[in-house]
Each structure stands twice: as structure tokens, then as C-alpha cells.
Amino acid sequence: MEKKCPECGDKIIGRIDKKFCSDGCRNAFNNRINKDNKNLIRNTNNRLRKNYRILETLNPNQKTKTSRAKLIEAGFDFNYFTSTYTTKAGTVYYFVYNQGYLPLEGDYYALVKREE
């Protein structure tokens, strides 16, 4: 039985369990299947990535303090975070993956890094 490449339709030559005629077709097929169909998903992931890079840059030593103005100047968007953590005392930390921030008095933020 002759197998055909699901991407280009050419005949597949080689191993019996081979699915694509070439690496190029395999990559093109998977890129098409895994492409973010919605701009919302792509834009949200880009915003989260940017927020993460900003927190990582401003917090190189696991724990520091910064101003709201410095975060905004760097392009940080407070509407995008991946999780929250509430302490027993009721303090809420906002996290972008493992980089977090805690609102403090006077428009300052404590930046923390959660250990895996």
C-alpha cells in the first residue's frame, strides 16, 4: 500500500512508520496545525512574555523593590498575570509564571521570584 504525505501528497519512501516525505513537510504541517488561530491568544501570550521579561530584568536578585512608574515606563501591563497567591495574612501576590509582585504603600511594588 502506497502512503502519501499529508502535507504535499507526494509518495512516502523509507521506513514503514514514516508519516511525511521530508522534514520540510513535517514542519509545515505541524506549524499549520499548532498556529494560534486567534489574535487574542497570540497577543495575550506576547503581553505575558513582555511582563515576564520586565520583572526578570528589574528583579535580578530574587527580591527587590521598585516603583510603579518604573514598571509602567518599561511597558508593564498590570492587567496580565498568570496567577495570584494569597498569604495567610491576606496579602495578595500577583505572578507572571515564577516572577511576582506585591503592591506596597505609596505606589511601590515588592518584586519576588518563586522558587520551583
Domain ranges of the chain: 39-113
What is the average per-residue pLDDT within 11-31?
A: 92
- Give the per-residue pLDDT at 72: 95
Q: What pLDDT, in 10s, does the model give residues 32-76? A: 887 766 778 888 999 999 999 999 999 988 899 999 999 999 999
CB atoms within 10 A of CB 99: 22
- Could you give the percent of the chain with pLDDT greater than 90? 76
- Give the per-residue pLDDT at 65: 95
Q: Could you tell me the pTM of the whole model?
A: 0.70
Q: 46 to each of 23, 94, 100, 110, how far by Cα in Å? A: 28, 18, 17, 23
What is the average per-residue pLDDT within 16-37?
A: 87
- pLDDT of residue 27 exceeding 70, the answer is yes
CB atoms within 10 A of CB 22: 13
Question: Grid coordinates representing 97?
Answer: 509564571
What is the average per-residue pLDDT within 86-108?
A: 94
Average pLDDT, the chain: 91
